[in-house]
Structure 1
Amino acid sequence: MNYTPFLFCLFLISNFFHAQTLHIQVSGIRNSSGNIRLAFYSNSKSFDDEKPLFIRKVAKKEVLNSSLKMVYNDLKAGVYGIAILDDENSNDKMDYGWVLPKEGFGFSDYYHTNMKRPKFESFDFALKDEIKIVEIKVRYL
């Protein structure tokens, strides 16, 4: 007996019922120029070394009422932390004045008010078989 169709259906069903869906809501965006750069980290070492697991960029043309929403269904279960950059000139890096950043930044479910970098544990979250909503408020200095 050929079990291939049965196994394939079982695979599809298990992925449907055990999928992670991540909704990200970014608020406080001051304009629609450039893009939002999302860096996904998996632990404090990757964050401290500034080596994200992966980066996603979203054009800000969809900004509505200073907010932008995105949905990702392709992430594996695990621990993540998201750091964003409001890359207003689309040059893929934070631009600085004399000392302070000129562009906005933010972190998953954490509004950073200190002058030092936050710890990964301040903005990490677990993603498992669920629909997870993460809110990020952009801060400009």
Structure 2
Amino acid sequence: MSGPREPGQSAFAAIQEIVNLLMADPGTDWDQVNIDGLRDHLVDMDNVTLHAAVKTERIEGGARFTVTSPDPAVAASITRMISAHAGTMDGVTGWRMTSMPLDTGAEMEVTGDAGEDAKIRALGFFGVMSFGMHHQAHHLALATGHNPHQH
């Protein structure tokens, strides 16, 4: 294909990717599609990635990440993202993840077996949040009206 390929903005690109998948799937249940829900989640991702402050503390077996913002909208995004991530990923990689909401965000502890602590600390909060390829399936679930955070 000649000509531009990039949609120009990552959240728009994520939405476009999901819309293209939905349009190509004859089994799409259009009564369940919720692109606005996906967009809300992408706003949360943007808020946490670009507007949150992270304090990292070494703990036995890993790290405690205190993620905060004085902006109430960003703090709410932090709480939603950390709670969902810890709940979804706890034990998946062999790491234990717990979260605790704070007035200005949330705290997440990530620990692993011997030798995993250095990896957890090296990845830091954003590396831990991005680990795995579950995000794309997660976005499709949100867009099709499913809540991937419920077990």
Query: Same fold by TM-score, threshold 0.5 exceeded?
Result: no
* Higher relative helix content: 2
Higher relative contact order (CA 8 A, sep 6+): 1
The TM-score, its normalising length taken from structure 2, stands at 0.24
* Higher relative strand content: 1
The TM-score, its normalising length taken from structure 1, stands at 0.25
